[in-house]
Chains A and B, each alone.
Chain A
Amino acid sequence: MQVKSRVHSGVLYVLLCGELDEHSASYTRITLDEIFDKPKFSKIVIDLSELSFMDSTGIGVLIGRYKRMKDRRIPIYITNPSAHAEKIFKLTGLYDIMPKIV
C-alpha cells in the first residue's frame, strides 16, 4: 500500500495505491491519520483509482477515519472507485457517510 497526498485550494486529495486488506490496514490507518492531523484543509477527497483490491477491513479503516474527521467537521468524499470497491461501498452503506463525487 502506498498513500500519496496533496492539498489544493483547501482540499486534501489522498490517493490510495495498492491493496487494502488486513495486512496493509495498520499502515494505511497510521499514515492517513498523520496526513489528516494537519490542519490545512476543510475537505478530504480519497481517490481510489489506484486501489487494486479492498475487502471489508478497508471499510473499517475508512469508517474509522470518518469518525475522527467528524469531530472536526471535515467531510470526506470518495472518487474513482473500481466496480469492485463500489460493490462493497453499496453493500456496507459507506456512501451514506462518505459520498461519491465525480
Chain B
Amino acid sequence: MKYSNFMEVTFKALSVNEGFARVCVASFCVQLNPSVDEITDIKTAVSEAVTNCVVHGYPNSVKGDVILRCELEDNVVTVTVSDKGVGIKDIEKAREPFYTSKPSAERSGMGFTVMESFMDEVQVTSNSFGTSVRMTKKISVASNALVG
C-alpha cells in the first residue's frame, strides 16, 4: 500500500514567517527519515520560494497570503508554495541564474537556481493572479521510517 500524507498551512507573506515555513516543512518530512543534507536542501528550497512570495509576489507594503503545502507519497516529498500576488511576467527569464528584477536591492538572482539544484524537479506556474512553485525531492532512505 502506498504511503501518503499531506499538510497545508497559510500564513501572511512576511519575512518573519520564513523560518516558520522552513521548520514546518522540515518537521513534517521527518517521518520519512531524511538525511541532514536532504532536509537542509528542502529547507533551503522552501526558504527561496517563500522569499519570492514576500519580495516579488507582494512587492508593495500590503502583504497577502502564502499557501504552503507539503505532500508525501512513499519516499517522495512534494512542496508547493503559492501566493496570490502580481505574478511573474517572464518565468523563463526569472529562472536564469543571476537574473534579478531588483538589482539595486543586492539580490543574488540565484533563488530559482538554488531550488533547482537542491530539489529533483521544480515547476513554476504564474499569471496575474499569483504564482505557484511545485518542487519534488526523493528521499533516499525512507523505507525504514514510514509510519501510518
Q: Which residues of A contact B (CB under 8 A)?
A: 19, 21-23, 29, 53, 55-57, 59-61, 63-64, 83-84, 87-88, 91-92
CB <8 Å contact, B54 and A22: yes
Residues of A within 8 A of B37 (CB): 83-84
Q: Among A59, A83, A84, point to the contact of B108 (Cβ < 8 A).
A: A59
Residues of A within 8 A of B106 (CB): 29, 60-61, 63-64
CB <8 Å contact, A60 and B114: no
Q: Using a Cβ–Cβ cut-off of 8 Å, how many residues does chain B contribute to the interface with A?
A: 24
Q: A55-B44, A91-B113, A91-B117 are in contact. List 20 more A-B contacts (CB 8 A).
A: A21-B47, A22-B47, A22-B54, A29-B106, A53-B22, A53-B43, A53-B44, A55-B48, A55-B114, A56-B48, A57-B107, A59-B110, A63-B106, A64-B106, A87-B118, A88-B44, A91-B110, A91-B114, A92-B108, A92-B113
The 5 closest A-B pairs by CB, nearest first: A23-B15, A64-B106, A60-B108, A59-B108, A56-B110
Main secondary structure of the interface of B (DSSP, over half): helix
Distance, CA A53 to CA B48, complexed state (A): 12
Q: Which chain B residue lies CB-closest to A56?
A: B110
CB <8 Å contact, B15 and A56: no
Q: Which residues of B contact A (CB under 8 A)?
A: 15-16, 18-19, 22, 37, 40, 43-44, 47-48, 51, 54-55, 105-108, 110-111, 113-114, 117-118
CB <8 Å contact, B15 and A21: yes
Distance, CA A59 to CA B105, complexed state (A): 12
Distance, CA A91 to CA B107, complexed state (A): 15
Residues of B within 8 A of A92 (CB): 108, 110, 113
Distance, CA A53 to CA B22, complexed state (A): 10
Residues of A within 8 A of B51 (CB): 21-22, 55-57
CB <8 Å contact, B47 and A55: yes
Residues of B within 8 A of A60 (CB): 105-108
Distance, CA A57 to CA B47, complexed state (A): 9
